[in-house]
Amino acid sequence: MLDERELEHFFYGHSLHAYRIFGAHFTYEGGNGVRFTVYAPNARSVQVIGNFNNWDGGNAWMERTGRFGLWSLFVPNVKEWDMYKYKIQDANGSWIEKTDPYGFYSELRPGSASKVVNLQQFDWQDSLWLASRAKSNDQPVNIYELHSGSWKRHADGSYYTYSQLANELIPYCKEMGFTHIELMPLTEHPFDGSWGYQSHGYFSATSRYGSPAQLMDLINQCHLASIGVILDFVPVHFVKDEFGLRRFDGTCLYEYSDPANGESQWGTCNFDLWREDVRSFLMSSASFWMDLYHIDGLRVDAVSNLIFWQGDKTRGVNEGALNFIKRLNANLHKEYPNCLMIAEDSSDFPAITASTLDGGLGFDYKWDLGWMNDTLKYFSKDPLYRSYHHNLLTFSMAYFYAEKFVLPLSHDEVVHGKGTILNKMFGTYEQKFAQAKTLYLYQYTHPGKKLNFMGNELGLFSEFSEERSLEWDILSFPIHDAFHRYFRDLSLIYRHHSALSRYDFEFKGFSWIDADNARQSIYAYYREDERSILVVVLNMTPASYEDFRLGVPWGGSYVEVLNTEKDIYNGCNMCNYYPLEAEQVPAHRFGVSIRIRIAPFAGILFERKK
């Protein structure tokens, strides 16, 4: 029997569990078998075809269910892993074959059939993790973004399975100090080069890397290792392939019928987010991954394309899509109160992370793409001219407390000819490494949560490609190995020192010591909490200073915790080896100061315990 209450929620655009109605579900109705249910309100007739009936639906006509536009059929003796499609006589009388929009698994591309699978049998062991996870506003959040098919590959070029990823990825993330893994979309997609951002199977974990149970085991093991898992979610658009959602029943069931809005700039179809059934479809997809796969959060792709028509601010706000976002976040937060919703948004639209009760969009965090653009632009400039662009690194704190930000150095910055993070640095081979270390010290000591794409920590010169593994053998070169060690140590320092995260979104957590030293291109600031003060100094030129006077907020002893130029990080070893006692000499608006050594392009972190 179909759940009438859930159906009502579906048609009013409030369903989080439409996957419990639609799709292929094992059941016992006078015999073991599967009940297939599909939403195709404008179809004339529908058949279920699969390997269990030799792809001949002549004896598998689905029954239309009342006024809802649902088609349903119980088929006995269907086994797990059997393949199927829906053969639909569409609104125009033509026959088309479609993948199940609510299919829970799919055959390996280029095949497009859905597969029957039971998702209820996995033995989860992560109840303690689920009970303790939180929004982490006052905790370190250090996200490792990766593409599952190219983090590592076998020698023959084949993919790691979900299980093989678990064996190597989890220990690596623990060693490197990451708190969360962010997986680029795992919803089923036909084209490898889309990295999963052009999907058709919104309830189907891609078969490229193994079975649903293997993915569940990967997530379960992450949780047992105290690592959260975030999944990229794409509610803006879907692939145009004929077997998918496009003109599913001969009409624009999922996409806008207006050609001006129906097709995206990526050559895909835009979801019609004014339709209540489409809203329920996407909200149920988001809920599905949190419910059945225990995902800890979603990073929502291309939010600016949801806020504005086609992402174009001059065309105005898309009120239907805006209402969908608010409803999505409000409903998910009610159902999964400790899961994260993160907006990848390039717009200046206000209140992205404000509560929907206060008129905001209801996200927990927003990517600070302005910080990313300004920072990388600054580091690409010749140090001779950086004094003229000093505000690029100070501007972020002028608006920072307007939202709850994640500072991303993501996959978008290391593809399509943009160069890697290391390659964006100005200067010689050695200077690029020196400045990249200072860049990361700036990222990890700036307020906000952190995100880095796989390979950033290796100091790669080759851009990301989905066609190959990361170049792990580059660690055989001492300068890359030292950079990798530095990245690990910085991550662990970030996690250890609560001053770097406790007051990320409160004014008392950050203060400038000197934001205006454009002449020397030196920045100084401090983070603080009840335990300690952490003072940060960033030198953005090749000049060095043996006796630089730095004002500090408190008297007492300051100990160098990290120096990017230490020898173990392939630096010149111009460090501050002994505790520095604050002197009663005014500097930088403070009554006391310390005298420090600053190496070329150095970033330095001092601690004064309270």
Backbone angles phi, psi at 125, to 5 degrees: -130, 25
pLDDT at site 245:
98
Q: 544 and 595 in contact (C-beta within 8 Å)?
A: no
* Residue ranges of the chain assigned to CATH 3.20.20.80: 141-455+482-500
**Residue-wise pLDDT tens digits, 268-313:** 999 999 999 999 999 999 999 999 999 999 999 999 999 999 999 9
pLDDT at site 31:
72
| Token representation of residue 149 | 């098919």
The span from the CA of 188 to the CA of 113, in Å, is 11
* CB hemisphere CA count around 314 (13 angstroms): 0
The span from the CA of 230 to the CA of 295, in Å, is 6
Q: How confident is the model at residue 259 (pLDDT cuts 50, 70, 90)?
A: confident
Backbone angles phi, psi at 298, to 5 degrees: -125, 135
What's the pTM value of the predicted model, to 2 decimals?
Answer: 0.96
Pairing of strands 557-563, 580-581: antiparallel
pLDDT at site 6:
82
**494-522 burial, b for 16+ CB within 10 Å, e for fewer?**
bbebbbbbbbbbeeebbeebbbeebebbb
**Which residue in this structure is represented by tokens 């029954």?**
63
* Residue ranges of the chain assigned to CATH 2.60.40.1180: 507-609
Max Cα distance, the chain (Å) = 92
Of 233, 232, 236, give the one whose Cα is nearest residue 305: 236
* CB hemisphere CA count around 194 (13 angstroms): 22
pLDDT at site 2:
64
Q: How confident is the model at residue 367 (pLDDT cuts 50, 70, 90)?
A: very high
pLDDT at site 1:
54
The span from the CA of 85 to the CA of 242, in Å, is 13
141-455+482-500 is classed in which CATH architecture?
Alpha-Beta Barrel (3.20)
pLDDT at site 65:
84
Cis peptide before 110 (omega within 30 of 0): yes
Q: 507-609 in CATH: which number? A: 2.60.40.1180
Beta carbons within 8 Å of 244's beta carbon, 6+ residues apart: 98, 99, 112, 200, 238
* Residue ranges of the chain assigned to CATH 2.60.40.10: 4-115
- What percentage of the chain has pLDDT greater than the value 70? 99
**Residue-wise pLDDT tens digits, 407-454:** 999 999 999 899 999 999 999 999 999 999 999 999 999 999 999 999
Question: What residues act catalytically?
Answer: 301, 344
| Token representation of residue 211 | 């079975």
**Mean pLDDT, to the nearest integer, of 307-328?**
96
CATH top-level class of 4-115: mainly beta
